[in-house]
Structure 1
Amino acid sequence: MNDISEINAVSYSTGKPVRIRISGGFIRDIMETGHTEGDPDLLVAPGLFDNQVNGFRGADFSDTDLKIHEMRQAVDALNAEGVTSFFPTVLTNSHENLLRIFKNLSNSLSDERVKDSIPGFHLEGPYISPESGYYGCHPAGFIRKPSWDEFAMYQEAAEGKIREVTISPETDESFEFIKKCTSEGVVVAIGHTNASTDQINKAVDNGARLSTHLGNGCANMIHRHNNPLWPQLANDLLITTFIADGHHLTPEEIRVFYRVKGPAKLILTSDITHLSGLKPGNYMFFGSRIVMTDDGLIKNPVLDCLAGASLPLRTGIGNVMKFTGCPPGEAFNMASANVAEAFGITDRGTLEPGRRADLVLFERNGYEIVIKQVFVKGRRVL
């Protein structure tokens, strides 16, 4: 099992040496030691929590034929990147395929290692904008208006594990759907949208609380005043999720997000796809040619849009520190504590007694986060 009882490292948030004692997979206590024991460059942070993972190392979570062993391999590989919790994210598809996909995902939780790292699923679509540019690389033929009856079927197939749904509140059906999701404990995010200011604010009034990868899932050319970005930034009830891989947003955009929302209202996500961890080259995705470059950019050259990401969450943490000047504690919290809090998941996300011993031990090489050891529920996985 490789269980441990004690870890000595430097706290990611305070910069002080700490001793963490673990019992039964949970943090028993944390004590400042006043002196460094072992490697003085070794830091400890909560395990990373990624709410938007489309796939990894060849495993596509929207694949109707995904096998349990493929999910297990993806979980093991993500754990090695410091991600101890994540939401497999399912993209727009036909009704029949979505039922199969969620049934497969639910079945994969029969593997305890998989279950330990997956507290829920994220449905991104099919209730998104039908306008070109806003739906990105989602298959346009399957985009449709929100339907609670339909969603309830997906939730049943998922055995109640859908924790997040991304929609565009551009139709009258959206608002009752949002209200119903919220009443059932499903967090609603606004994304892939060309909704008006009034529609966005009405969505928030009915319970929407997140913006999905803000600044992306948006047309390349938009009105400088009347666009879906400003009202989402301006609404204090919306938490901004964003991708900091160096491709999806500019450093200036990320600095603006940081200054407008503040560190507590930001969630860092990767949006990685099944191509992450594979060799650069040409691939097929929903029947279209996708190109992955040497620097990790994934793009549909015909639609001229990004098609997900390939760089892991730790890359985004380093970029956030580099682009904003924020301290490591804030950057790591955007990828751990803030995520757990947004979804009401109280057993992980912070270094506190009583929380799961999901830990990442790392060193810094400038802004690069170098993962050294990873623990999931006190069990060493790297």
Structure 2
Amino acid sequence: MKAIFNGKIITEQEILTDHTVIFDETIIAILPDTELSQYECSEKFDAEGRYVSPGFIDLHVHGCSGFDTMDNEENALEIIRDSVLKTGVTAFLPTTMTMTLSKITQTLKRIRHAMGEMKGAEVLGCHLEGPFINEVYKGAQDQRHIIMLDFEKIQTYSDVIKIITLAPEIATDDSFIRTCVEKGIVVSIGHSNATYEQMMSAISAGVSHMTHTFNALPPLNHRQPGAIAAAMESDRVVCELIVDNIHVHPAMQRLLLRNKGLDKMILITDAMRASMLGDGQYDLGGQLVTVSKNEARLADGVIAGSVLSLNQAVKNFMNNTDLDLIDAIRLVTINPARQIGIANTKGSIKLGKHADFAIFDESLEIFATLVRGNLLYRRT
């Protein structure tokens, strides 16, 4: 057994001080420091007064540290999963781009293999963003490879795909959405020009998620409310949000929080390969991206993902909304866990759940990250 002591433990209800977490691969006990002597622990980690949080879960990340999910290199995912540990992420969904179907399927094969490996941050499956999108709101996706909805093209990988982003208006009926839901895939609206009516129909068919809300979608309009209004109105839809203060103005962040509430929002990074590096020129889905002053853009000025880290997203959102730490942490832990059906094992510090922890200070700077009870990152 192992123990983390001298920390401020963030549970779903409160922050515990003078308590210790006992664990091996899973959490065995959360008890007052005075009762620690009843357990024999082979390893003890001193949090040195820092916060001990559930590990962060990023449901939408393309890459970082110079690598992308779709890179045809054996070590690409390995480097990504090692790098995100520095941001408190203990589990994530590598996210694809609209590229050739052969590139997408090769990526899905690599992700499937990585799902069984216990090293670095845990690969939970794939967020398939494209190729079933609308070219009108393609954003930084490559229009040449957009195709019509066809479940046969992805059915071999239904065990790997946890979230699929699509534009429902390009379909002739709702069979694709219903099949995805039957297979346990979360269906998300994104890169879409759907009307309010089309979006509400898609929600009735099973849509329960919105990809990077406000981005690559028609803006809110009082006569043509569109997909965003439908998502804000529906209790079924959970909204992703990129909180780098570039993609979405803080006022709209506050508006979404007030409308959806804590349980229906998830912070994501949408990070691309330049994340954790710096200014320069990079590739995203075969397109040239220039990063300058934390903004990633294509040559035509279109925003191309982000260089955001998830711990910074939490910090930004707290600053923009005055949320307290307990509530803000929910948006990167229990909420994403619930959305993809893993809340029984991840997302909170609770007996029996995986011993996934992020340890950080008042500034949300990550000090250490543990996955399944193993210390995989410690700031030096």
Normalised by the size of structure 1, how large is the TM-score?
Answer: 0.90
Q: Match for 1:376 among 366, 371, 376?
A: 371
Give the CA deviation at 1:34. 9.1
Question: Does 2:362 align with 1:364?
Answer: yes
Task: Write the deviation string for residues 138-157 of structure 1: whole angstroms up to 9, x where unpaired.
Answer: 011111221111121343xx
* Match 2:154 to one of 137, 146, 151: 151
Quote the Cα distance in structure 1 between the aligned partners of 2:376 and 2:237.
Answer: 35
Tell me the secondary structure at the aligned position of residue 364 of structure 1: coil
Give the deviation of 1:62 after TM superposition.
1.6
The CA distance in 1 between the partners of 2:341 and 2:113, in whole Å, is 24
User: What does residue range 137-216 of structure 1 map to in structure 2 within 5 Å?
Assistant: 137-155=140-158, 160-173=159-172, 175-216=174-215
Alignment match, 2:83? 77
3-state secondary structure, aligned to 1:137: coil
Distance 1:279 1:87, change over 3 A: same
Helix, strand or coil: the match of 2:207?
coil
Deviation at residue 223 of structure 1 after TM alignment: 4.4
Residue 58 of structure 2 is aligned to residue 50 of structure 1: yes
Distance of aligned partners of 1:21 and 1:287 in 2 relative to their CA distance in 1, 3 Å threshold: closer
Instruction: Assess, with a 3 A threshold, how the Cα gap between structure 1 residues 243 and 278 changes in structure 2: closer, same or farther.
Output: same
Offset of residue 16 of structure 1:
2.9
Q: Which amino acid aligns with 1:57?
A: S
- Conserved in 2, the CA contact under 8 Å of 1:298 and 1:306? yes
In the aligned structure 2, how far is the partner of 1:269 from the partner of 1:261? 16
Question: Matches of 1:259 and 1:287 in 2, distance apart?
Answer: 38
One-letter code of the match for 1:168?
Answer: A
* Cα distance in structure 1, aligned partners of 2:21 and 2:320: 35
Q: 1:281 matched to which residue of 2? A: 280
| Inter-CA distance 7–33: structure 2 relative to 1 (3 Å threshold) | closer
Q: Counterpart of 2:320 in 1: which secondary structure?
A: helix
Distance 1:90 1:285, change over 3 A: closer
Other-structure match for 2:244: 245
Alignment of 1:249-264 (within 5 A): 249-264=248-263
- Greater shift in the superposed pair: 22-31 or 118-127: 22-31
Q: 1:310 is matched with which residue: 307, 310, 314?
A: 307
Give me the whole-angstrom Cα distance separating, in 1, the residues matched to 2:199 and 2:277. Answer: 37
Post-superposition Cα deviations, 1:85-128, rounded to whole Å, max 9, x if no partner, equal 000001112222211121122233454215x6111111001111
Structure 2 match to 1:126: 131
Q: Which residue of 1 aligns with 2:73?
A: 66
Coordinate RMSD, CA, aligned: 2.1
CA contact (8 A) 1:93 1:126 kept: yes
Question: Equivalent residue of 2:132, what SS?
Answer: coil
Deviation at 1:161, TM superposition (A): 1.6
**Distance in 1 between residues matched to 2:334 and 2:316, nearest whole Å:** 18
Give yes or no for contact 1:72–1:111 (8 Å, CA) kept in 2: no
Counterpart of 1:4 in structure 2 is 2
Instruction: Give the residue type in structure 2 aligned to 1:59.
Output: F
Structure 2: state its 5+ residue gaps. 36-44
Task: Report SS of the residue matched to 2:99.
Answer: coil
Cα distance between partner residues in 1 of 2:284 and 2:67:
13
Q: Which amino acid aligns with 1:27?
A: I
Whole-Å separation in 1 of the counterparts to 2:253 and 2:109: 37
Distance 2:109 2:243 in 1: 31
State how far apart, in whole Å, the 2-side matches of 1:360 and 1:100 are: 32
Q: Is the 8 A contact 1:20 1:28 kept in 2?
A: no
Cα distance in 2 for partners of 1:15, 1:74 equals: 31
Q: For residue 33 of structure 1, report the CA deviation from its aligned partner.
A: 5.0
Alignment of 1:332-347 (within 5 A): 332-345=329-342, 346-347=344-345
Equivalent position of 1:350 in the other structure: 348
Query: What is the one-letter code of the residue matched to 1:25?
Result: E
**Contiguous gaps of at least 5 residues in structure 1:** none
The answer as to whether partners of 1:145 and 1:173 remain within 8 angstroms in 2 is no
Distance 1:353 1:222 in 2: 43
| Equivalenced residues, count | 364
Distance in 1 separating the partners of 2:119 and 2:48: 31
Contact 1:168–1:174, Cα closer than 8 Å, also in 2 = no
In structure 2, give the amino acid aligned to 1:238: V
Query: Separation in 2 of the partners of 1:171 and 1:34?
Result: 61
Cα distance in 1 for partners of 2:46, 2:93 equals: 34
Alignment partner of 1:98 is 2:101: no
- 1:28 is paired with a residue whose SS is strand
Contact 1:127–1:167 (Cα < 8 Å) also in 2: yes
Residues 5 and 33 in structure 2, CA contact (< 8 A), matched pair in contact too: no
* Change in 2 beyond 3 A, CA 1:110/1:258: closer
Equivalent pair of 2:191/2:216 in contact (CA under 8 Å):
yes
TM-score, structure 2 length as denominator? Answer: 0.90
